[in-house]
A and B are shown apart, each in its own frame.
Chain A
Amino acid sequence: RKEVEQDPGPFNVPEGATVAFNCTYSNSASQSFFWYRQDCRKEPKLLMSVYSSGNEDGRFTAQLNRASQYISLLIRDSKLSDSATYLCVVNPYSGGYQKVTFGIGTKLQVIP
């Protein structure tokens, strides 16, 4: 089983739609979780951290389910500018060091 699994998509959604991505992880020792966004031919950039209590930033909501070992990202009212690849990041912390592990990414295309 891969350490971090994501559906690569692509997800093609119309503007204004709500879209959700899930990401599952295998290492129960994972301590911190993030969603990154990567635009074509650019570096990944932090979208948001994922806290146990869930967190929201404008149109974006992230949730963590430790029992089922998955994190989710919900995007409401999709904009054309949301088109990108969304990378799930899981950081197992063992032996005092972390191993920042990326999922393969989910490609989102928002269509006019």
Chain B
Amino acid sequence: DTAVSQTPKYLVTQMGNDKSIKCEQNLGHDTMYWYKQDSKKFLKIMFSYNNKELIINETVPNRFSPKSPDKAHLNLHINSLELGDSAVYFCASSQHLPRIRLYTEAFFGQGTRLTVV
């Protein structure tokens, strides 16, 4: 029973195309994230949503547009794909604990390996 699932697992597409990656979590968490892991293996946060509201946007080109229809889903749409967008994109979720000013650990999806040719 997958906790955080993202589709597709692999995506090969041409430059200039538009593509979407979907993410769903069944953990009941209120916070979801998108991360990009490039060829140097560095995991960099792109976006964070809390209860469908965007709370973190880390200097990401506006070709990337996240959408959260509800707190269990966070999709990523990418317009006009470029070669440099090739990477593994991970979705993750965690739970906010405001009383103790903490978040629980993040659970990750299996990743989407995007290759732009």
Interchain Cβ contacts under 8 Å between A and B, 8 examples: A43-B90, A44-B108, A46-B107, A91-B102, A98-B103, A100-B106, A105-B41, A105-B42
Interface majority SS (helix, strand, loop, mixed), chain B: strand
How many residues on chain A are close to B (CB under 8 Å)? 23
Closest A residue to B44 using CB positions: A102
A93 touches B101 (CB 8 A): yes
Q: Which residues of B contact A (CB under 8 A)?
A: 33, 35, 40-45, 48, 50, 55-56, 90, 92, 94, 96, 98, 101-103, 105-111
List A residues 28-61 near B (Cβ within 8 Å).
31-32, 34, 42-46, 49
What is the total of A-B residue contacts with beta carbons within 8 Å? 59
A31 touches B55 (CB 8 A): no
B105 touches A99 (CB 8 A): no
